[in-house]
A and B are shown apart, each in its own frame.
Chain A
Amino acid sequence: MGDFTNLTLIEARDALRQGDFSSRQLTQAYLDRITAIDKGIKAYLTVLSDEVLQAADEADRRLQAGEELPLLGVPLAIKDLLTIEGVRTTCASRILENFDPAYTATAVQRLLDAGAIVLGKTNMDEFAMGSSTENSAYQTTHNPWDVERVPGGTSGGSAAAVAARLAPAALGTDTGGSVRQPASFCGVTGLKPTYGRISRYGLIAFGSSLDSVGPIGHTAEDVALLFSLMAGHDPRDATSMDKTVPDMQLTETNSIKGLRVGVPKEYFIKGIQPEVESAVRAAIAELEAQGAEIVEVSLPHTQYAVPVYYIIAPAEASANLARFDGVRYGLRVESDDYIDMFKQTRGQGFGPEVKRRIMLGTYALSAGYYDAYYGQAQKVRRLIQDDFIQAFEQVDVIATPVAPTTAFRIGEHSDDPLEMYLQDIFTLPGSLAGVPGLAFPVGFDENNLPIGMQLIGPHFGEAKLFEAAHVYQQATDWHQQQPQLNISK
């Protein structure tokens, strides 16, 4: 029996259809690998061993009956920020240590409806606040390419699980780069969709005007499949768009001839790791070699993205996280009066980064400061949006690095929140503008750490991103590289 865990999502799906192996065999292979390896990676917070095998058997019955659902019998990993009915959902926080939601996130439900089964819930930075998955209240996830290093964050568990082949694909969420940056650090492909394209129902909110559900896989093709299954209007999310999803055909025959690729000068700045810049420029050259037209563009308000984001996202978070008060669910620290109960519960339930952002956000919304901070940030956010709208009058997609560096060492930035915030410098502008961004591997640095490139598209322009990345992946094999896991027992 070959190692099924080397297959891509679509390869595994097709093999299941052809009866090469069963969903139970495939699932068991992943569970065995999780048992063997995950103690060194710590990608999963919860492994649903029994449930997923049961679901695999059910999928096998349906496969035998000839059902042809797009993901029938394929196991996936889900970030622990997305709810699944009856499955503990912690957001990697103490405050939700024993929280079993009564509802399933729409994005997850659509994959379940397509036949997918769930291996488990993956680790993350607490409430999706961070860039390294070090802010989990439970464990630090290790980068499969170098276990001394972080996998990126906040969807570090999902990206590491895919990179270490502990799942064929996974769901993450992206508020300011939380799918793209860990995908880049772990050498996998990850999408932040257009804001509103995939329902946020069941995504436990951090920054509501920025949050999105994003798939992570080995190939653009895998990611595109998951995306197309999840996208579309959801009556339970008033910000989800009623926009048809194009039927994407990714084959050997796709072409990017004439595709106008914009290269923004503001993204190739001092301080960027030289190997990152050269790998991204080489990838751009490869796109050109494939027939794309390279155009220099300008996104002049890029430099304001970090401060704008760190006002808007914490402001929204400060309200979103107010509901964790110990009254109805989650952690409650009993006290003599309810005010003290709130203080004790929140004081003990939240980690330091979450508290920092709640305070930042509370301050930015306070009377007398609102106009100077939140109000001003909203104005600048519109300028950043306008940058993209104008750039997309000239080009079809924009190519940038995902992060200024490759994966850094565990603990390297832990004491310096500002340094950590700069990790998102290239992913934040697109988040603020609500445009889609696809991250995929384009090389390695001298430490054999993956380097990612980001293709940014206009609103609802995901198809172009998938096509370009797919053409790139047809011509290169960076996405096929696998980490040599040397996990000490």
Chain B
Amino acid sequence: MTKYQPVIGLEIHAVLETRSKMFDDAPVVDSTHGAPNIAVSPVSAGMPGVLPVINQRAVEYALRVALALDCEIALTSIFERKSYFYPDLPKGYQISQYQHPLARNGELTIHTSQGEQVVRIRRVHIEEDTGKLTHVEEDGENYSLVDLNRAGVPLLEIVTEPDLHSVEAVRAYAYGLRAVLRYLGVNSGNLEKGLLRIEPNISLRPKGSEEMGTRTEIKNLNSFRTLERALSYEIERQTEVLNSGGDIRQQTLGWNEAEQVTVPQRSKEEAEDYRYFPEPDLPPLVLEQSWVDEIRAGLPELPYTKQQRFVQQYQLKQGRAALLVEDQAVAEFFEAAMGAAQDIEARLVANWITGDLFSHMNDSGEDIEDLKLKPANLGTLVQLVSSGEINQPTAKGVLAEMLGSGRSPAEIIEEHGLGQISDTGQIEAMVSEVLAANPDELAEYHAGKEQLAQWFFGQVMRTAQGQANPQLLRMELERQLSESKQ
């Protein structure tokens, strides 16, 4: 058992998926696709003489997030210039917020194996993205190519306090925040495309200590998997350094996917002086309280609230509820299925969704909205299993057909004659037929080989082509076995 506690904070950059850029009317396009420099205006190219103008929709998106995270909103916030030279930074400065961010002091509640935890959010601010630099070699010459499609795209930076103490908690927060962003319709949550960038900072301290150790930051993690692996690796690496009496160097690290190790990118000693000062081209961003209130009132039920409601209302386990609420459409599908009838067992509906439906969606690439399967029909199917009309294996087959055709389970069962045999007379006849056909086994059973009961059960079920109501069959088999003893 390690004697250190990890102390982890996250800095998340989320692209606000607006139609146009943060400070001009150039469109926001998928910068991982298509030709470079197709979404560039004089403003986003940093041409001289042109000026930034605030995209109000981006501010609205940012406010939705800040309000959903329960932040204190600054009715007056200030854009500042963050200066540094880099070929992908057209103006030589990035317009960001520094001393007076849009929002502070928020929180997001997560659930881990340790229970519920409130993660404090230090600040939420708006800034613009940079372009992208690609290094290429052609005819032995090295070139750097600059693509400014991304330059000026609105970003929201969301910074937590160092409240996370395990990879599991980081994962819960990251997924939880992504769900919030998706619910609010501001970000689709794609890490691979860089729409969501998660940068953890991590230090270790002796368990029980309140002091903070020296921290490292990890950048360029483009999936949840690399986030978790890089963190696990870094916890282990720092543990070893400390155990061997060494010191942690404060530095920025990257993740080497091939070697599965963190690697230093630049050390903080070389950290730049960004020379922040208020952006003179933009007046302070002043918000009307009434507008803020309006946006707050328009927020949807948020994922964690929904998760707790599902736990309460449907007696679901936290983990299962969490899976259902991660995607708003899935949660809605679940509730629509539950609405199909009075006494549907929620646990079973949830199992079908997170089991068969998810794996189908995984294979087909469909989203839940794309499915031909109607949620009410899933509810009905679950009820048919509960009431014994069909058994589980049959139901799986029926579901496959429902996914393919969108037809109701009743239609499919009717067409294929798949209804479960619950006629006691029919079951009685099948049981006596099987017992009569196997006198040796019956004798062995009575001689004490009781496990043969299961064998008889299987034989009858085979005769019934799997459609016998298992409870009725078992009762009838037990009755006939004990009667045949005399």
Contacts and interface: CB of A to CB of B under 8 A. Distances in A.
Given A103-B42, A238-B281, A319-B91, 7 more contacts: A201-B50, A208-B280, A237-B51, A316-B277, A319-B93, A324-B48, A370-B275
A13 interface: no
Contacts of B357: none
B322 interface: no
Nearest to A322: B92
Interface in A357-376: 362, 365-367, 370, 374
B90 interface: yes
A449 B52 CA distance: 43
Given A238-B283, A239-B283, A342-B85, A204 B48 contact: yes
Interface residues of B, number: 30
A322 B93 contact: yes
Contacts of A205: 48-49, 281
B294 interface: no
B269 interface: no
B144 interface: yes
Contacts of B415: none
Contact of B51 (A200, A209, A319, A342): A200
A19 B409 CA distance: 89
A105 B54 contact: no
A86 interface: no
Contacts of A297: none
A101 interface: yes
B262 to A, nearest CB: 26
Contacts of B83: 318-319, 322, 365
Interface string B141-160: 00010100000000000000
B280 A316 contact: yes
Given A203-B49, A327-B146, A208 B281 contact: yes
B275 A362 contact: yes
Interface string B29-66: 00000000000001001111111111000000000000
Interface string A140-155: 0000000000000000
Given A319-B83, A367-B273, A329 B47 contact: yes
B146 A323 contact: no
A378 to B, nearest CB: 8
A222 interface: no
B144 A338 contact: yes
A102 interface: yes
A83 interface: yes
Contacts of A198: none
A94 to B, nearest CB: 14
Interface string B282-312: 1100000000000000000000000000000
A325 interface: yes
B123 interface: no
Contact of A315 (B46, B53, B277, B281): B277
A319 B92 contact: yes
Nearest to B81: A319
Interface string A49-82: 0000000000000000000000000000000001
Nearest to B23: A238
B76 to A, nearest CB: 15
A324 B273 CA distance: 19
A201 B53 CA distance: 11
Contacts of B282: 238-239
B470 interface: no
A208 B50 CA distance: 11
B87 interface: yes
Nearest to A240: B51
A323 B90 contact: yes
B87 A236 contact: no
Interface residues of A, number: 45
The listed residue with most A CB atoms (<10 A of its CB), out of B81, B90, B91, is B81
Given A338-B87, A362-B275, A209 B280 contact: yes
A236 B282 CA distance: 11
B54 to A, nearest CB: 7
A168 B45 CA distance: 36
Contacts of A236: 50-51, 53
Nearest to B37: A328
Contacts of A82: 49
A96 interface: yes
Contacts of B48: 83, 89, 91, 96, 99, 101, 204-205, 323-324
30 contacts: A83-B49, A89-B49, A96-B48, A101-B47, A103-B42, A103-B49, A105-B49, A201-B49, A201-B50, A203-B49, A205-B49, A208-B281, A209-B280, A237-B53, A239-B280, A239-B282, A239-B283, A319-B277, A323-B47, A323-B48, A324-B48, A327-B90, A328-B45, A328-B47, A328-B90, A338-B86, A338-B87, A366-B273, A366-B275, A367-B273
A323 B283 contact: no
Contact of B91 (A96, A315, A322): A322
Nearest to A99: B48
A393 B185 CA distance: 52
A107 to B, nearest CB: 11
A56 B47 CA distance: 30
A288 B48 CA distance: 46
B55 to A, nearest CB: 11
Interface in A315-350: 315-316, 318-319, 321-325, 327-329, 338-339, 342
A208 to B, nearest CB: 4
A302 B249 CA distance: 51
Contacts of A96: 48
Interface string B76-99: 000001010111001111000000
Nearest to A102: B42
B39 to A, nearest CB: 15
Closest 4 CB pairs of A and B: A322-B92, A208-B280, A365-B275, A209-B280
B85 A322 contact: yes
B277 A201 contact: no
Nearest to A91: B48
Nearest to B133: A338
Contacts of A342: 85
Contacts of B281: 205, 208, 238-239
Interface in B395-430: none
Given A103-B50, A205-B48, A327 B283 contact: no
The listed residue with most A CB atoms (<10 A of its CB), out of B51, B53, B92, is B51
Contacts of A339: 85
A321 B51 CA distance: 14
A162 to B, nearest CB: 23
A236 B52 CA distance: 7
B51 A204 contact: no
Nearest to B275: A365
B46 A328 contact: yes
B277 A365 contact: yes
A202 interface: yes
Interface in B234-287: 273, 275-277, 280-283
Contacts of B91: 319, 322-323
Contacts of B45: 328
The listed residue with most B CB atoms (<10 A of its CB), out of A96, A238, A324, is A238
Interface in A93-127: 96, 99, 101-103, 105
A300 interface: no
A370 B90 contact: no
Contacts of A200: 51
B131 to A, nearest CB: 10
Interface in A178-227: 200-205, 207-209
A237 to B, nearest CB: 5
Contacts of A202: 49-50
